[in-house]
Structure 1
C-alpha cells in the first residue's frame, strides 16, 4: 500500500492492489465514455470486473505487473479515482512502463499526476536495476501529455501506429 499525502494543491491518495470488493466501483468508472475511448479492454459487466481483478491479483503474484487502485478518502470511506499500473518489470531489467486512467469525477484535479509520481518513486525504490520508465499514449490525447509532464515524464518521441493502437503515439520517459 502506498500513500500520496495531500499538498496545498493535491488531494491525499491511497494506492493499493485491487480487491474483489472493488468490482462495483471499477464498473462505475468504466461507464464513462471518455475512459472507454482510451482503453483497449473496458470493464462493463460483473464478469469482466471479476476477470480484471483476478488478473490484477495474478500479476502482482507474478511480480511483472503491478496495478494500483487509487482511492481518495471521502466521508463514506474511500472513492475510486484512478488506476496506475507498472508493467513489463523484470528482476534485473533496466526499464519498464507505466500507464494510468482517471475516473471522470477526478479529472482536472491533479489526481493522475500525483498517483503516477507516487508509483514512479515506489518503482525506482523497489527495483534496484530500474533506470527509466516509459509512458505511452496516442497523439490525440493531449490530457495524457499534460499528466506525463506534470509527473516528470518529458516527451521523447513520436511512435508510429501499430496494432492494437490505431494512431501514432507519444513516448514520454522518466529516469531514476
Structure 2
C-alpha cells in the first residue's frame, strides 16, 4: 500500500506544502519551521498529484498577492494625484514675481526710451541727469601733496608665508 500524502497551508507564512498523513494531527512547516496543529486539509492523494496541486495553489496565492499590491499601489497613486491637483487649484492665483536683487540695488535712473519725435525734451532730460551727478575730476580727495606720497613699488615687502594656492598664478 502506498503512502498517503496531503496538502496543508502554514498559518505563519501562508505557503501550501506537502505532508505525510500521520495519526497525530500536528505538523511542522518546512519553510518557517513553525509547529502547528492540523486545521484544514486542502487535498489528499499520491505524491505527484499533491505536488502539482501545491504548485497550482502557491501560484494562485502569489497572483492574488501581486494583484492586491498592484491595486494598493494604484489607489495610493490616484490619491497622490488628487492631492497634487487640489494643491494646484489652491495655488491658482499667480504669485507676484519679485527680483531678489531689488532689495540690494539702488533705484535705477530712469532710462530714456523716447523716440526722436521730441528731441528738445530728450535734451532737457539729458541735461538734468548731468546736473545731478557732480563731475569734479580735478579736485583730489586727499589733501596730501603727491610728492610726499610713496609710490607702490617702494612699499616694504611683507615677509609672510603665503597660504593661498592662487599666489602661484598671480
| TM-score relative to the length of structure 1 | 0.19
Greater share of residues in strand: 1
Higher helix proportion, which one? 2
Higher relative contact order (CA 8 A, sep 6+): 1
Greater Rg, structure 1 or structure 2? 2
Normalising to structure 2: TM-score of the pair? 0.19
